[in-house]
């Protein structure tokens, strides 16, 4: 909580992601302007992580797809209570969507990126698991921060839209990619890029390894832009033996052994 909502380090990471994205937008818009063919960075139906399909864009208008929570928006009002120990509750989150729109801030750098996108005539499209029932409140919250225009069904896609089910976002990504050439995506969870990362059959180690595959590794910072979130979500799992493999366990040398009695190297500071 201190890191994400309070630290300069997290703000700097966010600027790094969004300025990288802004530069990428300018680069892709320039490619379009000189007649180069572009491809979507949305993995199409039938893709696997080892054999992705990225469709040609034709002359579709350009767009970037953004997650909302802890990507474009910091939910300060809601998370302050969570930091105080109030457990997550779906009804409470629903009330937050309806009435908390004034108690948020934009993620550092997000509005700078939006400005760059507008200058290049690139649409900003939100794909979120917030509820469709609260679409007008979410649109108003985003507009209040400076993310307008936000139009449900065009630049705002929510849980249940495009016959999407559960927390999966692929169905909505595919619907967005039918209308727009999605040149970039940003999110704080792997599911903001493809649902394939969250396949239930994927073991803990395999999930971590899957972001570094032949086709996935090259997309980070080059079409896919990830924001920090150490507070909640799909990243926060793994047993002790999974996070810290047994073959990398270390124990300090016994007292009196050469390793602990050797003189410390001299450190000169000028
Ligand atoms: Mg999020």
How many angstroms separate the alpha carbon of residue 130 from the centre of ligand 1?
Answer: 10
pLDDT digits (tens, 9 = 90+) for 61-71: 999 999 999 99
Cα radius of gyration (the chain): 21
* CATH code given to domain 2-261: 3.40.50.1000
| Amino acid 263: pLDDT | 62
Separation CA 197–CA 215 (nearest Å):
13
pLDDT digits (tens, 9 = 90+) for 71-82: 999 999 999 999
| Amino acid 267: pLDDT | 63
How many angstroms separate the alpha carbon of residue 77 from the centre of ligand 1?
Answer: 16
How many angstroms separate the alpha carbon of residue 67 from the centre of ligand 1?
Answer: 6
How many angstroms separate the alpha carbon of residue 159 from the centre of ligand 1?
Answer: 13
How many angstroms separate the alpha carbon of residue 243 from the centre of ligand 1?
Answer: 23
How many angstroms separate the alpha carbon of residue 42 from the centre of ligand 1?
Answer: 17
Low-confidence ranges of the chain (pLDDT < 50): none
For the entire predicted model, the pTM comes to 0.92
Report whether 146 contacts 112 (CB < 8 A): no
Q: Could you tell me the residue ranges of all domains in the chain?
A: 2-261
DSSP string, 8-70: HHHHHHHHHHHHHHHHHHHHHHHHHHTT---B-SSPPTT--SSS----B-TTPPEEEEE--BT
Separation CA 138–CA 125 (nearest Å):
13
How many angstroms separate the alpha carbon of residue 59 from the centre of ligand 1?
Answer: 30
pLDDT digits (tens, 9 = 90+) for 97-127: 999 999 999 999 999 999 999 999 999 999 9
């Amino acid at each position: 909580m201190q890191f994400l909502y309070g630290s300069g380090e997290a703000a700097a990471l966010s600027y790094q992601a969004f300025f990288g994205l802004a530069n990428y937008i300018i680069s892709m818009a320039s490619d379009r302007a000189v007649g180069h063919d572009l491809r979507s960075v949305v993995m199409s139906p039938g893709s696997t992580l080892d054999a992705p399909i990225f469709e040609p864009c034709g002359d579709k208008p350009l767009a970037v797809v953004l997650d909302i929570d802890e990507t474009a928006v910091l939910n300060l009002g809601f998370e302050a209570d969570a930091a105080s120990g109030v457990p997550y509750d779906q009804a409470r989150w629903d009330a937050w969507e309806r009435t908390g729109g004034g108690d948020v801030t934009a993620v550092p750098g997000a509005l700078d990126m939006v400005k760059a996108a507008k200058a290049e005539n690139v649409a900003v499209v939100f794909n979120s698991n917030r509820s469709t029932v609260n679409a007008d409140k979410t649109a108003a919250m985003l507009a209040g921060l400076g993310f307008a225009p936000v139009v449900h069904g065009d630049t705002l896609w929510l849980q249940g839209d495009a016959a999407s089910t559960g927390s999966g976002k692929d169905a909505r990504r595919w619907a967005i990619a039918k209308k727009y050439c999605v040149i970039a995506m940003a999110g704080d969870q792997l599911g903001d890029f493809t649902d394939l990362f969250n396949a239930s059959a994927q073991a803990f180690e395999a999930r971590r390894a899957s972001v570094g595959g032949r086709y996935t590794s090259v997309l980070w910072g080059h079409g896919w832009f990830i924001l920090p979130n150490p507070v909640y979500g799909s990243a926060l799992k793994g047993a002790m033996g999974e996070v810290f493999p047994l073959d990398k366990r270390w124990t300090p040398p016994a007292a009196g052994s050469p390793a602990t009695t050797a003189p410390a190297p001299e450190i000169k500071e000028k």
